[in-house]
Structure 1
Amino acid sequence: MRRALLCAAVGVLIVIAFAALWPGVLATHDPLQTDVRSALVPPSAEHIFGTDQSGRDVYSRVIFGAGRSLGIGLLATAIALVGGLIVGALAGVAPRPVEAVMMRINDILMAFPEFLVALVVVAVLGPGPVNIAIAVTLAAGPVYIRLARVQTRTLRGAEHVEAARILGVPPVRAFVRHVVPGVLGSLSVLATIGIGSSILAAAGLSFLGLGPSEPTPEWGLMLAGGRNVLGQAWWISVFPGIAITLTVVAATVVGRILRARTEGRRS
């Protein structure tokens, strides 16, 4: 059962990644082309997902929106992973007083919901896709910092690291070659789950009007665009909502199964 679930989740992610990399292959229309005569047309053979208020093809906009939504999520997760690795590893090797200060600050940030932190950051920096990526990165970073610090503390005392030091390997080289890869492996599994959370947070900020502006095809922005006509044209918001849900669920499933395997549980 779990294997079938993993295959289904990976299949969904492959399709979404293909749409993000080569949207022109899957799209049937220009996502920015307007046609007021075809406004609010329900799903049909010509427009699979219907059209929006400006007559733009919703299916093509969902396909082209995959690249922007997925790109923001991947970028934010990658930066949070690297930043968390650096800060967490430094905290793991720092003197106790320095480590205590660093982790208390980190604990304060973790006390707030990630979306609230991201919302505050965007309020300070201003709206825009770049600022959304920065906000999501800062909101997700504390989780990576804590895990990196714990893994660094654990691996520093591992037998193979001690053996390398006894053999005369310089401390910095031993740390880079034997500790960092182990910490990075743990963070990579966490990042698989974090991608879905980052995409969801970015879409939420775009829904609030803090991300890309019209007519950019972006899932969160498309959700917001259809909320006022939901009773008349449900398809404008439902289909990008389904795309977000499938992406987040698929990434979370893959991440949780990978984490179960790394922890030695039955897969």
Structure 2
Amino acid sequence: MTLGRRFALGAAIAVLALIAALAVAPELFATHDPLQTEVRAALLPPSAEHLFGTDQSGRDVFSRVVYGAGRSVGIGVLATALAFAVGLAVGSLSGVAPRLVDAAAMRATDILMAFPEFLVALVVVAVLGPGPVNVAIAVTIAAIPVYIRLARAQTRTLRLAEHVEAARILGVAPSLAFTRHVVPGVVGALSVLATIGIGSSILAAAGLSFLGLGPTEPTPEWGLMLAGGRNVLGQAWWISVFPGIAITLTVIAATVLGRTLRARAEGRTR
């Protein structure tokens, strides 16, 4: 790995560690109550008192960004975890299922993959209704097909591997050989994909919140904060810029880490 890639990986890990700390213990970093309003302090620019300025209601933007990490990252992590679990179960079973069952599952997966993930999530939210829980469900459903595809491909490859065949020759039951030797390999491949998927899920959830389909005011959430500052962008740019920077850094850091892990996994495979 080159020095530049090592620096990028270190920076990505540092950013993700900071975001995780903000999500777990926001009270240690916030300087104000994220819900406290003060009309006389509305639309103040960044200063020593308010590091990221204030919004239209006089709420501290820095504190809202800090507390927003928990909700924004939480939705992304939850959606990725659910997509991981469903994709692992459906994809692995499809890889060992009879041909007709496998073909039916893959055609349904192909239909979902034919549309952009954000469009699928938008349709699901339109059916289920707005709200943070429905946003997480929508993002999960949109992400599942990719995990199913990868889990199926890995299952069909690993079930023919030499160590799996050796286990069967030694008398290990097919179901036991599958859970001990095939599933762990599939989990490893999906874990790399999930690292990248967290960033995509956070971005999709923020996009839905920006459209008013996620949490509602006065909840501190990055996508909702972006939407709240769009009408005063020329007058108070900080309301939208700082949550946007938080989203961008988180997505880039997760992508860098995921791609590094994928490159290492592919190197070991070769």
Q: TM-score, normalised by structure 2?
A: 0.98
Return the letter of the residue paired with 1:33. Answer: Q
Given the alignment of the two structures, is residue 258 of structure 1 paired with residue 261 of structure 2, yes or no?
Answer: yes
The one of 107, 110, 115 aligned to 1:107: 110
User: 3-state SS of the aligned residue for 1:134?
Assistant: helix
1:101 shift after superposition: 1.1
User: 3-state SS of the aligned residue for 2:267?
Assistant: coil
Q: Which residue of 2 aligns with 1:176?
A: 179
List per-residue Cα deviations over 1:42-68 (Å, max 9, x = no partner): 000100000000000000000000000
Residues 1-267 of structure 1 mapped to structure 2, 5 A cutoff: 1-264=4-267
User: 3-state SS of the aligned residue for 1:85?
Assistant: helix
1:97 shift after superposition: 1.4
1:98 shift after superposition: 1.3
Return the letter of the residue paired with 1:253. Answer: V
Identity score, percent: 80
Return the letter of the residue paired with 1:5. Answer: A
Q: Distance in 2 between matches of 1:115 and 1:36?
A: 36
1:110 shift after superposition: 0.2
List per-residue Cα deviations over 1:197-216 (Å, max 9, x = no partner): 00000000000000000000
Q: Distance in 2 between matches of 1:256 and 1:235?
A: 31
1:262 shift after superposition: 0.3
1:72 shift after superposition: 0.3
Q: Distance in 2 between matches of 1:220 and 1:159?
A: 48
Q: Distance in 1 between matches of 2:60 and 2:220?
A: 11
1:243 shift after superposition: 0.1
Q: Distance in 2 between matches of 1:77 and 1:248?
A: 13
List per-residue Cα deviations over 1:98-119 (Å, max 9, x = no partner): 1111101100100000000000
1:158 shift after superposition: 0.4
Q: Distance in 1 between matches of 2:191 and 2:221?
A: 26
RMSD: 0.6
List per-residue Cα deviations over 1:61-99 (Å, max 9, x = no partner): 000000000000000000000100000011100111111
List per-residue Cα deviations over 1:116-169 (Å, max 9, x = no partner): 000000000000000000000000000000000000000000011011111111
* Over 6 Å off, 4+ runs: none
1:174 shift after superposition: 0.6
Q: TM-score, normalised by structure 1?
A: 0.99
1:19 shift after superposition: 0.4
Return the letter of the residue paired with 2:228. Answer: G
Q: Distance in 2 between matches of 1:191 and 1:62?
A: 24
Return the letter of the residue paired with 1:192. Answer: T
1:226 shift after superposition: 0.2
User: 3-state SS of the aligned residue for 1:263?
Assistant: helix
| Structure 1 alignment gaps of length 5 or more | none
